[in-house]
Homo-oligomer: A and B are copies of this chain.
Amino acid sequence: MKPATIRDVAQRADVSVASVSRVLNGAGPVTEATRQRVLAAVEALQYVPHSGARSLSTSKTNAVGVILPDLYGEFFSELIRGMDVAARALGYHLIVSSSHDDADEASAALRSMRGRVDGLIVLSPHLGAANLASGLAGRTPVLLMNGGAATDGRPSIVVDNHGGAVAAVEHLIASGRQRIAHIAGPAGNLEAEARLAGYLEAMAAAGLSTMVVDGTFTKASGQEAGEALVARADRPDAVFAANDNMAVGALLAFQDAGLRVPEDVAMVGFDDIPLAGLVRPALTTLKINIAGMGRNALERLVRLIGPAADTDTACEVVHPELVVRGSSIAFPPTTGAAGVASSNKQTPSLEGEKL
């Protein structure tokens, strides 16, 4: 038994398929009586419109695609969560495709989604990804979240990675640190590069010499980087990691080596993933409202799909906010307050986060 079609419903309700369509779409005038009969037939037949047929007639899919480089860690799940909420509210379905480390895989995913979605959100923090995405998408609207690539004239949302990094370094300097190391993100990643550039600039501006070790945005790489820093003769008294994941890894490496945070070394991350407020000491970081950014991205894409398509060519910049927590409290304390640094207790609050 095949699923019921609009014709079956029409027949059972003794009306034309046009009327069934009108009732179901709330478009066009219908008598209340007709309405009721149609609805009853729909119910009886368990009728669900064929989305493909509908999309063929309307040239709309009511679906948007999200192309992600990865799906590890809390950053992306938070982002998807925000998008999902907005998508549901706007009547869109969310098609996700992740694990596209390189531009090739990302473009394959993009191709496979074309024609299946009304719009795309592309997170691809690699050089050239922006052009690629816009090229491949054809007429499909694309919202770029490619972290710093030139997005000239294309709708996009980028984080002010450079400014955030500068703020991190300045905060560390202000709290009395001098030997500030940076754990960098993966080479070729534009977000990582912008954060590195911000670090280098702020250090140069302060006349401090730099110390950079490489990482890959994972906790494990942060831990390794931390171990390398611990072993150095000129051990840093502060570490700014290019994301929270690595900062947490480095935090553990230092603590495992018997060093105290923030007494011996201060630690600052980037992103403010839920975990950041949870580790001890809680991690100072550059806060991005990740889920909010996801929601915003989806809402903007949907606007892009509509008639306003061509008017939106803006590159929206999200400015991360420095959130100072226990991991970078000034040491020696600049305030008269004693004991802050020696206490192992941080604010026990989880800030209401619901991870």
Interface residues of A (CB under 8 A from B): 1, 3, 46, 48-56, 61, 63, 71-74, 76-77, 80-81, 84-85, 88, 93-99, 109, 111-116, 138-139, 218-220, 223, 245, 248-249, 252-253, 255-256, 274-275, 278-280, 344-346, 348, 350, 352-355
Shortest CB–CB separation between residue A121 and chain B, in angstroms? 14
Contact A355 B252 (CB under 8 A): no
Contact A93 B71 (CB under 8 A): no
Shortest CB–CB separation between residue A222 and chain B, in angstroms? 9
How far, in angstroms, from A248 to B274 measured CA to CA in the complex? 13
Q: A278 to chain B: which residues have CB within 8 Å?
A: 219, 248, 252
Give the residue of B49, B53, B98, B355 whose beta carbon is less than 8 angstroms from that of A219. Answer: B355
Contact A52 B55 (CB under 8 A): yes
Q: A63 to chain B: which residues have CB within 8 Å?
A: 95, 116
Q: A279 to chain B: which residues have CB within 8 Å?
A: 279
User: Who on chain B is nearest to A55 by CB?
Assistant: B52
Contact A71 B77 (CB under 8 A): yes
Contact A350 B52 (CB under 8 A): no
Q: A76 to chain B: which residues have CB within 8 Å?
A: 77
User: Who on chain B is nearest to A226 by CB?
Assistant: B348
Shortest CB–CB separation between residue A55 and chain B, in angstroms? 3
Q: A93 to chain B: which residues have CB within 8 Å?
A: 95, 97, 112-113, 116
Q: A345 to chain B: which residues have CB within 8 Å?
A: 256
Q: A352 to chain B: which residues have CB within 8 Å?
A: 220
Contact B98 A96 (CB under 8 A): no
